[in-house]
Structure 1
Amino acid sequence: MDISLAPKTRTRPTVKQIRGLAAACLAFAGSLMLGFNPSHAADGQIDLSAYKGKVVYLDFWASWCGPCKNSFPYMENLKAAHAGDDLVIITVNLDHSRQKADAFLKSLNSDLNVVYDPKGSLASTYRIKDMPTSLLIGRDGRVRYVHNGFFPAQTAEYRAQIESLLREK
């Protein structure tokens, strides 16, 4: 599967692209992620097994991505709204330049957890094709929802999914 992290200009996806995206989503659904440990990420390591029993929002993004920029205030609001809950938000940056990623974060005044993955190894491993892509991982360590892109009109649905996962014990 071709993973391209460069921005592209396209107005509508082709049927082939939609089928590929659907296949990638189905590949994730129900996948066990507890062993996820991005030791090949540039600066950070995250062992998702440390978050067993928590709901994990794992977001892949890049500084050149407009929808990614739009998603950060949403994630910051989630973090604030669920500060006492078992929700962990981890972002994975795919920029080749750490400086661009840091400038992006500074411009948004963001203090979300970031793993830097400039070679796109994690994106390739987890078949991430579009930016942003978010995985919602349940308390059991399984991927429960995959969001490809960020659509402000769907944030109520995203929140409902998160709250549903938080209610599960």
Structure 2
Amino acid sequence: MSAPENRPTNTGRRLASRILSAAALLLGLSLIHLWQTRDLAEGPAPALSGHTLQGEWLDIGKFTERPLLVHFWAGWCPVCKVESGGIESLSKDYPVVTVAMQSGSENDVTEFLRQNQLRFPVINDPDGKLASAWRVTGVPTSYIIGRDGRVRFSSVGFTLPLTLRMRLWLAEIW
């Protein structure tokens, strides 16, 4: 009787192949994220203040008790519309300030909010000056600002509400 050979089984090869594929996918997604966010604001958050469409004066420098989501979006952006329900949900649990970038007049943005049953605070940025200060070049763009006023996380494009919620939680404990 001969000794059993120490060769990988087909099951072992398949598992190794799946692990390698998953690692390659994660690396690829990480590199895409780094490329997408390479030009976004870092460090201390840029100033952001103004009257919301709801009539409140907002200054993000006053948000020091909990992390803050600053979310840039546009009424003409289909991805932003898909993402808006998640932002609305987050606004019930965390401080959220949104900026409607180049989305038209206050009436246009207010009508968009009404049609989509959205109640989160919105500062209108019809000429894109606020977006430029934050180095936003595409929407949606989201920033998580820590209690210390520093950018903790940023993302461009569709971001799952669960991902934003997790980042807000991490910024709260970090």
Please point out which of 69, 87, 91 is paired with 1:75: 87
Corresponding position of 1:93: 100
Corresponding position of 1:24: 39
Say if 1:132 and 1:150, in contact at 8 Å, map to a contact too: yes
Structure number with bigger Rg? 2
RMSD over equivalenced CA pairs, Å: 2.6
Partner letter of residue 59 of structure 1? H
1:38 aligns with 2:49: yes
1:142 aligns with 2:150: yes
Corresponding position of 1:13: none
Say if 1:45 and 1:115, in contact at 8 Å, map to a contact too: no
Partner letter of residue 93 of structure 1? A
Unaligned runs of 5+ in 1: 1-17
Cα shift at 1:139: 1.0
- Higher relative CO (Cα under 8 Å, sequence separation at least 6) belongs to 1
Alignment of 1:1-169 (within 5 A): 21-25=36-40, 28-29=41-42, 31-33=43-45, 36-39=47-50, 45-80=57-92, 82=93, 87-94=94-101, 95-151=103-159, 154-168=160-174
Instruction: Return closer, same or farther for 1:51/1:40 CA change in 2, 3 Å cut-off.
Output: closer
Say if 1:60 and 1:91, in contact at 8 Å, map to a contact too: yes
Distance 1:20 1:96 in 2: 29
Cα shift at 1:19: 8.5
SS at match of 1:109: coil
Distance 2:75 2:149 in 1: 28
Cα shift at 1:44: 6.5
How many residues get paired? 140
Partner letter of residue 112 of structure 1? F
Distance 1:63 1:121 in 2: 17
Distance 1:76 1:40 in 2: 19
Partner letter of residue 97 of structure 2? I
Say if 1:36 and 1:46, in contact at 8 Å, map to a contact too: no
Partner letter of residue 165 of structure 2? R
Corresponding position of 1:6: none
Partner letter of residue 157 of structure 1? T
The two structures have a TM-score, normalised by structure 2, of 0.70
Instruction: Return closer, same or farther for 1:118/1:41 CA change in 2, 3 Å cut-off.
Output: farther
Unaligned runs of 5+ in 2: 1-32
